[in-house]
Structure 1
Amino acid sequence: MIHVLQALPHQNPQSQTMEARRLTAIAWLLSLLSLFAAGCYAIESPQYTIIHTESDFEVRLYGNSTWMSAQASDLSFERATFNGYQRLFEYTQGANLNCSRLAMTLPVSTSIVPGAGPLHSSAYVVRFYLPTKFQSTPPTPLPELKLEPYNWSSHYVAVRKFPGFALDDIVVKEAEKLALSLTRSAWVNATSKSDYAYSIAQYSTPFQIIGRVNEVWVDVEAAGVNDHKSGDVASS
């Protein structure tokens, strides 16, 4: 059974440092948006194979991959994702011991660990998929960013797509829909005992209004995959 935590409202004052980071991110995203419009920016994503397809979800097999991760605790998924991504963005712009600049990749993944903090707040892990060039040797992040490389071993995930913006109330509802779909399918007993209730993968910039793509990811067991495998379809 997948545990879903409803985010609670909570307000924190924004420091000047956070505001500076926000403005930097906005400037970068505007530049990125112009590259998208020009059609001259290729973005890497982790490779996967589609193992099984249902009407409202699919099961994928992801290979081994390396991500850079940022832990964040908050009552809000949105704020935690913003906080973690700002640190990851600084890392990609050269805030590492090599002063290396990393190309942007998709998706930005936020994994949720429910009930890990005070007032039943959640712990979150925001992840940036490292470009192929840095998969085997990630640049070491500056200590103040509090980032860690994460080796995501080969794993199976049930995936539900949803449009629009990944807002606090929406991600909870979409996760609940995937949980319900799994309980009504042959995958009811295949949910993995993961440290994370679920993950949200975001593929669109904040400035994209139409055609936004998001996904809910829930780990499933390999045994369940083998029992219900319906044919391999390569994808990326």
Structure 2
Amino acid sequence: MVDLVSFWTSSQSSLFFKSSYLQPGVPLIYWITTPIFFQQHLQGKERKKWEMKCLLNFLEAFLFKDEVAFEERTYEGGKFATVELTGKPFDEAINEAVLKLLKYVGGSNDQGAGMGMMAPVCTTVFPEDDGSLKHKVKVLLRIPSQFQANPPTPTDESIQIEEREEITVCSTQFGGYAKEADYVTYAAKLTSALGDKDTYHKDFYFCNGYDPPMKPYGRRNEVWFLKK
């Protein structure tokens, strides 16, 4: 039995962290009453810092909700476990692929090795002309460093081990439990922010999730455009 918690170790490799204290689906009253409760225990400068932080979170969530911040980032190459699925909607396909990869890193391999879970889970998607996603995904998970030289062979034949080169991406980040619609929305925002620059691939992009499903708040998701 795979312990999903112990196999998921979040990698905070990002140079840019966009605050996501306000999460979709959580009543606004929670975000009002919680700061009030906690600030009663703060005094002086600490209380003022807390109040300013709450104000900035409010402004970010409600006044600047249509803005998008982004950065350019480079990731080293290496060996990845990959699963390719076609004919299924994004949300269904990614759930199936991630489960396969979790089983692989949890010990379903020729060495019976529990490798640990790297982050993010990176999914290659292929947009239609209207921005919606084709029913085709390729989900990638980096092999942990101690297994890079000799990755265990998956017992599931649908999982392939690939050597991938270093990449440079333009990345934007958002919170919440990300679905297809969220990735499509932020991909459109990133496209708008970048303008007509022909320096990034437009026939595919990457959807990334960093957190296990049992983490309800402070979640991190990213859209990456690959630089040519």
TM range (shorter): 0.5 to 0.7
TM-score by length of 2: 0.68
- Contact 1:66–1:151 at 8 Å: present in 2 too? yes
Q: CA shift at 1:75, angstroms?
A: 4.0
Residues 116-137 of structure 1 deviation map (CA, whole Å, 9 limit, x = unaligned): xxxx842101111111101121
Letter in 2 for 1:134: F
**Matched position secondary structure for 1:207:** coil
Which of 194, 198, 209 is residue 182 of structure 1 equivalent to?
194
- Contact 1:49–1:62 at 8 Å: present in 2 too? no
Q: Indicate yes or no: 2:133 matched with 1:136.
A: no
Which of 209, 215, 221 is residue 208 of structure 1 equivalent to?
215
Partner of 1:218: 225
Letter in 1 for 2:117: M
- Contact 2:123–2:138 at 8 Å: present in 1 too? yes
- Contact 1:107–1:201 at 8 Å: present in 2 too? yes
**Compared CA separation, residues 65 and 201, structure 1 to 2 (3 A):** same
- Once residues 80 and 69 of structure 1 are traced to their aligned partners in structure 2, the CA distance between those partners, rounded to angstroms, is 13
Identity of aligned residues (%): 25
TM-score by length of 1: 0.65
Partner of 2:73: 60
Partner of 2:201: 192
Q: Greater CA radius of gyration, 1 or 2?
A: 2
Letter in 1 for 2:195: T
Partner of 1:225: none
Runs of 4+ in 1 over 2 A off after TM superposition: 41-50
- Once residues 173 and 89 of structure 2 are traced to their aligned partners in structure 1, the CA distance between those partners, rounded to angstroms, is 21
**Counterparts in 2 of 1:1-236, with a 5 A limit?**
28-29=3-4, 32=5, 43=9, 45=11, 56-114=69-127, 121-142=134-155, 144-183=156-195, 188-192=197-201, 197-221=204-228
- Once residues 212 and 170 of structure 1 are traced to their aligned partners in structure 2, the CA distance between those partners, rounded to angstroms, is 13
Where in structure 1 are there 5+ consecutive unaligned residues? 1-23, 36-40, 222-236
